[in-house]
Amino acid sequence: MSRRIAVIAGDGVGPEVTAAALPVVEAAVAAGGGEPLAFDALPWGSRYYHEHGRMMPEDALERLAGYEAIFLGAIGSPEVPDHVTVWGVILPIRQSFGQYVNLRPARLLPGLTSPLRDRGPKDIDLVVVRENSEGEYADVGGRLHRGTLDEVAVQSSVFTRRGIERIVEYAFGLAERRPRRLLASATKSNSWAYAMTLWDEVVADVSVRHPDVAVAKYHVDALATRFVTAPDSLDVVVCSNLFGDILSDLAAGLVGSLGVAGSANLDPTRRHPSMFEPIHGSAPDIAGTGLANPFGAISAGSLMLEHLGLAEEAALLTRALERACERPETRTPDVGGTGTTASVAEALVSFVRAA
């Protein structure tokens, strides 16, 4: 029996990179002898919003709960306010399904060039572990006296000991499985006297259970500088929701382009489906040009296969991506290539089958 995957291709370049990535994922599963995957397309997103006044149907979460995983292309359209698109699809799925881990690896692949002078693949290989369920993206707040000079907007962050502890515990466990066993914690406790002091205290408490991991605390502004000046000093970086969002985009830029980075929204308990997506947005400025980079979506596919227990199939995708980076014709223009979305995807399928 095939394993069922929900596919929300979404908006902008989302359908293009999704259409490019899924055949590569299927080729890897076939080459590795894994159980086939069945992809069910769900036409939700900004177009659905224009037709129905909402980004997903009312029973969307109930329907998604029956799948083993969710593959997301991109969400967002210039015609729909960003907070409507994000709170209409992405955040409800993350929060309702307990996807409290947002995993965002950033590794400079051989053949790609970092914007950092004199930095190569040996210098940039890190993972941002972002808290994904609360923090600065908690839906707490409101606006008063709209449209007047007395208008007030209040946006509150929510940090719980349980929420911090579980993401920090996951990050320490990941660091233990990596050769360098380094953990950096992003904080701002010099100015956030309540939330971030709690964050620091929990990190210190959890560190006692992981004596083999070297942990360092950085204020987030100093850590952003370190990403640029000393990326080789970083391995696993654990962050709150907002800090992780920003730093992981910076990390993707350091490894060549937002277009190369994939991410996983994980429920480590596996009670609910996890969701996999490239970290780039819908990029409406290049939608329809055939130039969108499918690497990020394929990297997300690799993370999905690994989560589904198909480690060798996931490794096939990674090796195919490494091979594609070697030649300009199998890269898109954002990473110095001459290929198109479709031609790069076709080459990756052939690389997987030849492995």
As annotated, the active-site residues are 137, 188, 221, 245, 249
Query: Residues with Cβ < 8 Å from 223, sequence gap 6 or more?
Result: 184, 186, 237, 247
Instruction: Measure the CA–CA gap between 294 and 342, rounded to whole angstroms.
Output: 9
Looking from the CA of 59 toward its CB, the CA atoms found within 13 Å total 2
List the beta bridge partners of residue 72.
8
- Residues in contact with 114: Cβ distance below 8 Å, sequence separation at least 6, in sequence order: 108, 120, 123, 124, 254, 255, 256
Instruction: State the Cα–Cα distance between residues 264 and 275, nearest whole angstrom.
Output: 6
Q: Which helix (H) or strand (E) holds 203?
A: helix 195-207
Minimal CA–CA distance to 240: which of 128, 140, 98, 155?
128
Give the burial class of 146: count Cβ atoms within 10 A of its Cβ; 0-12 exposed, 13-18 middle, 19 or more buried: exposed
Residue 2: name the closest of 48, 39, 52 by CA: 39
Residue 267 CA to residue 274 CA, distance in Å, equals 6
Q: Which residue has the tokens 């929300």?
A: 8
Q: How far is CA 69 from CA 162, 253, 339, 343, in A?
A: 25, 27, 30, 27
Q: Which phi and psi (to 5°) does residue 289 adopt? A: -90, -15
Residues 6+ apart with CB under 8 A from 40: 4, 5, 6, 7, 67
